[in-house]
Amino acid sequence: MRIARINTDDGPKTVVVHGESFLDFYEIAGVDPGESPRTFFSDVSRSSGKVAAFLREGRLSGITDYVPSSYLVPIPMVNQIRDFYAFEDHVRAARARRGLEMVPEWYEFPAYYYSGNSSLFPSDHDITYPEFSSELDFELEVAAVIGKEGKDIPKSDAWQYIFGFMLANDWSARDIQRKEMKIGLGPAKSKDFATSFGRFLVTADEMASRLDPERKLDCDLKAYVNDNEYASSNLNRMHWTFQEMISWASTGTSLKPGDIIMSGTAGGGCILEIGPEKNGWLKKGDVVRFHSSVLGELVSGIV
């Protein structure tokens, strides 16, 4: 199931995206839309079978089909964001550009940092160029959304805690990040000014068919700047799986609905790795577009 939250003439709505249609989720599910954002995850999870059957049988008449005036972040509440470092090819290439080799500790456990949740933006929403930076970069990532609470989650059980997946852009001020990392406490200000999420969330039950025998996901990812392709990758190139990251993140602490586990940058998925000497850093007027045949699009202009 593909979920979106959109603005319409009737206000914000949660919809099921079916082809070109934006169908009212709560009408299909028969659930009261007035509940708090915290019940969103359980509402959708409980109703997924009913909605799937409804779409499969083509019983669409009588369901409101909205025309979106704009997109919202696909989930109504974002709790904590843990941004991981899961693609070995990205880590190796980015470190090599700084004259550094891989450290053995990277292979011991999936590392992450906490990102802020006060500057989150939906697709098709402009990003203000941070005035404190002159080296703005994008990062091509995927976010897994946690749908139910869990602690000390075994890797073998981790998939059932995933609500769904969406494209994500972990915007980065590279000049500030470079200084923060020298201090040994970061990244922080180099990241917390903006994080963008894709138009749609694809639920975990639909994504499960894309798991390979190693429990990695087959999901294509591309990044464009002003319609020029900058990066092409796939989630199956992750060294650390989402299940491994969720298990480690929940060790000794609780994950809760609305928590986000981000993949880290896909290989080649940022200017830092590609090299700014080719096309320069991002600038005002640029349009960054992420595309996946599975997860949809994430489009952001820079102003």
pLDDT (mean) for 183-212: 95
- What CATH number did the domain enclosing 220 receive? 3.90.850.10
111 plus 66 within the same structural domain: no
Give tens-digit pLDDT for 43-80.
Answer: 899 898 899 888 888 777 789 999 999 999 999 999 99
- Check residue 65 and report its DSSP letter: B
165 plus 17 within the same structural domain: no
| Tally of domains in the chain | 2
266 plus 292 within the same structural domain: yes
Backbone angles phi, psi at 70, to 5 degrees: -165, 165
Domain that holds residue 14: 2-72
**Is 195's pLDDT higher than 90?**
yes
Q: Which of 72, 89, 124 is the last residue of a domain?
A: 72
Contact residues for 29 (Cβ-Cβ < 8 A; gap 6+): 43, 44, 47, 50, 51
Give tens-digit pLDDT for 199-218.
Answer: 999 999 999 999 998 889 99
pLDDT for 28 equals 92
Spatial contact of 140 and 266, defined as CB atoms under 8 Å apart: yes
**Is 111's pLDDT higher than 90?**
yes
pLDDT (mean) for 13-30: 94
pLDDT (mean) for 24-48: 85
**Is 232's pLDDT higher than 80?**
yes
Q: What's the rounded Cα separation, in Å, for the pair 57 and 123?
A: 31
Q: How confident is the model at residue 251 (pLDDT cuts 50, 70, 90)?
A: very high
Report the length, in residues, of the chain: 303
Residue position matching structure tokens 């959304």? 145
Average pLDDT, the chain: 94
Q: What's the rounded Cα separation, in Å, for the pair 48 and 164?
A: 12
50 plus 131 within the same structural domain: no
**Is 88's pLDDT higher than 70?**
yes
pLDDT for 134 equals 98
Q: What's the rounded Cα separation, in Å, for the pair 40 and 29?
A: 12
Structure-model confidence comparison of residues 290 and 214, the more confident one: 290
Looking at 28-42, 173-187, 267-281, which range is the least confident one?
A: 28-42
282 plus 232 within the same structural domain: yes
pLDDT for 35 equals 62
Q: How confident is the model at residue 100 (pLDDT cuts 50, 70, 90)?
A: confident
Closest to 185 measured CA to CA, from 176, 197, 195, 173? 176
Question: Which DSSP string do the residues of 107-170 spell out, in sequence order?
Answer: GTS--EEEE-SSSEE-TT--BPPPTT-S-EE--EEEEEEE-S-EES--GGGGGGGEEEEEEEE-
Q: Which of 32, 50, 72 is the last residue of a domain?
A: 72
127 plus 11 within the same structural domain: no
Q: What's the rounded Cα separation, in Å, for the pair 182 and 191?
A: 15
27 plus 174 within the same structural domain: no
Spatial contact of 6 and 29, defined as CB atoms under 8 Å apart: no
Give tens-digit pLDDT for 154-178.
Answer: 999 999 999 999 999 999 999 999 9
